[in-house]
Structure 1
Amino acid sequence: MEKLNIPLSVPNLSKDIVPMIEECIETGWVSTGGRFITEFEEKVANYVGAEKAVGVQSGSAGLHVAYRVMGVEAGDEVICPTATFIATVNPMMYIGALPVFMDCDDTLNMDLEKLEEFLMNNGQWTMDNGQEVLMNKNSGNKIKAICIVHVFGNPIDMVKVMEIAEKYKLKVIEDSAESLGSYYTKDGEKQAHTGTLGDIGVYSFNANKILTTGGGGMVVAKDKNILDKVRFLSVQAKTDPLYFTHDEIGYNYRLTNVASAFGVSQMNQLEGFIENKIKNYNLYKEAIKDIDGLEILPFNEDTRANYWFYSIMVDKDKYGIDRDELLVKLNECGIQSRPLWGLMHDQKPLKKYEAYKIEKARHYVDNLLNIPCSTNLTSEQVGAVVGKLKRFSNV
């Protein structure tokens, strides 16, 4: 069998980074201080339309601090999707919070109708320290927040999310790890970016993301005081940095200058990356519509998604083989492909937590396949993938 080499999603780096790395080395600013940190934070903030942004070591670190500054405490419940990567959930577990898992809809994002139904049927108002708070009737725990995920860069309906959150007095954490560059539109005009509509938003710059610093993340928030608290906690919560006074428990979560130099370079290329993503998605879409039994998932209307991942659904009866057999065949010939993550409520450490009417997510986890989508993917490589998708059909 012909062996190709088409990865799923890899970094797209430019040599313009070299002088910046040399500057880091020559000046000695290679750690958590240096001009590139400030420059990268400013570039991200300006790009997404936020007043400021705070760089952190990873998206997970950003979420950990985000849960904390949103007032999530041990024993509080946070509603989150079951169809997500476990990095959405792990940081709340560090605090001792309790996830409540919600199903997805056909966009792969959280099912907001079920979310509202759950809150209506299972929420009960109670008084706590003179404040009216929502309690889960099933568990007796306070429901503190909703963590939504813009899955694969596809923006969820944040207007609806915020309406629900306001009604039930819940904080909203936007896990925007996958969606840097995605924004909403109205009448074709650009509106708000993902990450900027909730109370706090977190982006990830892991190696497979649309923009990478090797690792790293960024936090934005509506309230400047909240963002100041994020920065404070991310540098070990130094109340007096000269005399090393610490009045709270903090974290070593600061983004490094070297990583930020990569970020500065990548931000200069981001729109070009997205342009190539959209072009290749449309090439796939046009070709796959003629392959019986395969369907490429769309991105939401009234948005300009970043098209981070391309997902196809495999109908065994029409295509001739199931998703798992296609997955094996593609990987054997050098086309890296992956299924949807294992659902969160199925994970061994998370099985004991509440999951509400999980139905549609099971269908997607059984039949969805992600195909190559790197920002430097060529049209020739798209053609090679499509050729194999046609060839492997047993109908």
Structure 2
Amino acid sequence: MKDSSDVQAIVAEIRDAVRKSVAPPYASETIPLALHEPCLQGNENAYVKECIDTGWVSSVGKFVDRFEQELADYTGMKRAVAVSNGTAALHIALLLAGVEAGDEVLVPALTFVATANAVSYLGASPHFVDSEDVSLGMDAETLDRYLSSTVMLRDGHAFNKSTGRRISVLLPMHTFGHPVDLDALTAVAEKYHLTLVEDAAESIGSFYKGRHTGNFGRIAALSFNGNKTITTGGGGALLTNDEDLGRHAKHLTTQAKVPHAWEFVHDAIGYNYRMPNINAALGCAQLEELDGFLRAQRALADRYERAFSPIQGIRFVKEPPYTRSNYWLQAICLEGADLEMRDAVISGLHAANIFVRPAWRLLYKLPMFENAPRMDCAVAERIEASLINLPSSVRLGERVETRDADEP
């Protein structure tokens, strides 16, 4: 932990870099900068009003069908299924990937708790994996080395030598919208007979080698929470290139009800995970604006990168090579920071009306997961102690003043 004067100097450097980077009028120190606010300036009012005027506000309606089709088209997937939230999408994705009670699922230690919660819903256990510094996501190389001594292959399945449990799924997450090394992780999954499922909750609009995230696993999950790149208020979606799997996902998320004019016939344990039409209406309007949102986020990232590059001891987190990130949440890492220093810097920035946040607490530090299996997570611990998410709202990237005429 640096002394208080050092922390104050770091806070001042970050404050000035942030205010220099954001669009007017947000450069003024009197205006609070939230972490990530939704931008609802398109057809949201018109589409929601249509739902209200027609009475189609619940779980069926034309906007649900439209949203699903437009999601599939945008991501290049064969099927999208809209659901009530991203955690529900993860739950169904893992269920359809074959996760069973007693299994283990390889999960990043550095992720939002929903990733591990969805595993637990199925009676399985998260098995925590370390991160790498570029994408902030799973490190395929260290994971491969770890599994080579941890796993025993038998009858086409991987088993944890220590616990005897089957490891059934590899579940990487695209941290803050930055795609992980999907080629390397796909190779690990194939080597150890694991099903690859993508937690793409944060990565709508992100591409790996020209393909949208979600295209690499058997099935993927998206989130449209209020702070995501696009929002439906609350909502999520499943993505898959397996038509049969997509149909089954739609069936299970609508209470497994067999279509009939009046009979109530249900042929499996189903879930009330449907997205209401009124939320899908928001989603349709937001998709219309997505390209503009992405341009604004990238423009903000460019300005942040330039503003922080001269500052010693602070690294702006850039998209990995061969990817195009949505830059959902912009981030910096403080060289040599510990948790106490990180929190002191965050506190100072909050006092300056800049409402940053840390990355999540590593999941094996939470009481319900403290006994879960894990590899050494030294890199994830370093990221946890050093990373700060910066204000990332779309409107902060929209800039029209003269001195930015040559900027993207």
TM-score (ref. length: structure 2): 0.87
Aligned to 1:188: none
Deviations 1:116-169 (A, max 9, x none): 122211111223xxxx32111110001100101010111111111111112221
The one of 213, 225, 234 equivalent to 2:232 is 213
| Equivalences, count | 369
**Distance of 2:186 and 2:225 partners within structure 1:** 28
Aligned to 2:268: 248
Unaligned 5+ runs, structure 2? 1-11, 13-28, 401-408
CA contact (8 A) 1:12 1:375 kept: yes
The answer to whether residue 179 in structure 2 is matched with residue 151 in structure 1 is no
Unaligned 5+ runs, structure 1? 186-190, 382-395
Aligned to 2:208: 184
Is the alpha carbon distance of 1:379 and 1:262 closer, same or farther for their aligned partners in structure 2, counting shifts above 3 Å?
closer
- Deviation of 1:240 (Å): 5.1
The answer to whether residue 371 in structure 2 is matched with residue 352 in structure 1 is yes
**Distance of 1:43 and 1:53 partners within structure 2:** 9
- SS of alignment partner, residue 280 of structure 1: helix
**Distance of 2:323 and 2:185 partners within structure 1:** 16
**Distance of 2:126 and 2:342 partners within structure 1:** 29
**Distance of 1:148 and 1:60 partners within structure 2:** 15
Is the alpha carbon distance of 1:55 and 1:39 closer, same or farther for their aligned partners in structure 2, counting shifts above 3 Å?
same
Aligned to 1:375: 394
Is the alpha carbon distance of 1:274 and 1:379 closer, same or farther for their aligned partners in structure 2, counting shifts above 3 Å?
closer
Aligned to 1:34: 61
Is the alpha carbon distance of 1:316 and 1:356 closer, same or farther for their aligned partners in structure 2, counting shifts above 3 Å?
closer
CA contact (8 A) 2:168 2:194 kept: yes
The one of 274, 277, 282 equivalent to 2:294 is 274
Aligned to 1:67: 94
The answer to whether residue 7 in structure 2 is matched with residue 7 in structure 1 is no
- Deviation of 1:379 (Å): 6.4
Aligned to 1:388: none
Q: Which residue identity is paired with 1:126?
A: R
The answer to whether residue 360 in structure 2 is matched with residue 341 in structure 1 is yes
CA contact (8 A) 1:4 1:333 kept: no
- Deviation of 1:198 (Å): 0.7
Aligned to 2:145: 117
- Deviation of 1:105 (Å): 0.6
Q: After superposing the two structures, state which structure 1 stretch, 243-252 or 352-361, moved more.
A: 243-252
The answer to whether residue 315 in structure 2 is matched with residue 291 in structure 1 is no
Aligned to 2:71: 44
Aligned to 2:19: none
Q: Which residue identity is paired with 1:44?
A: L
Is the alpha carbon distance of 1:361 and 1:58 closer, same or farther for their aligned partners in structure 2, counting shifts above 3 Å?
same
Work out the percentage of aligned pairs sharing the same amino acid. Answer: 37
CA contact (8 A) 1:62 1:218 kept: yes
- SS of alignment partner, residue 53 of structure 1: strand
Structure 1 residue runs of 4 or more that deviate by more than 4 Å after TM superposition: 378-381
CA contact (8 A) 1:339 1:365 kept: yes
- SS of alignment partner, residue 9 of structure 1: coil
Deviations 1:21-51 (A, max 9, x none): 1211121110111000111111111001011
The one of 165, 173, 177 equivalent to 2:197 is 173
**Distance of 1:153 and 1:56 partners within structure 2:** 20
Deviations 1:209-262 (A, max 9, x none): 000010101111121111111101100111354421222111100111100111
Q: How does 1:193-204 map to 2 (within 5 A)?
A: 193-204=212-223
The answer to whether residue 256 in structure 2 is matched with residue 229 in structure 1 is no
- Deviation of 1:290 (Å): 1.7
**Distance of 2:132 and 2:103 partners within structure 1:** 25
Q: Which residue identity is paired with 2:149?
A: N
- SS of alignment partner, residue 300 of structure 2: helix
Q: Which residue identity is paired with 1:8?
A: L
Deviations 1:171-221 (A, max 9, x none): 111000101101123xxxxx2100111110111000110000101011111
Aligned to 2:15: none
The one of 264, 279, 301 equivalent to 2:284 is 264
Q: Which residue identity is paired with 1:304?
A: R
CA contact (8 A) 1:316 1:322 kept: no
- SS of alignment partner, residue 189 of structure 2: helix
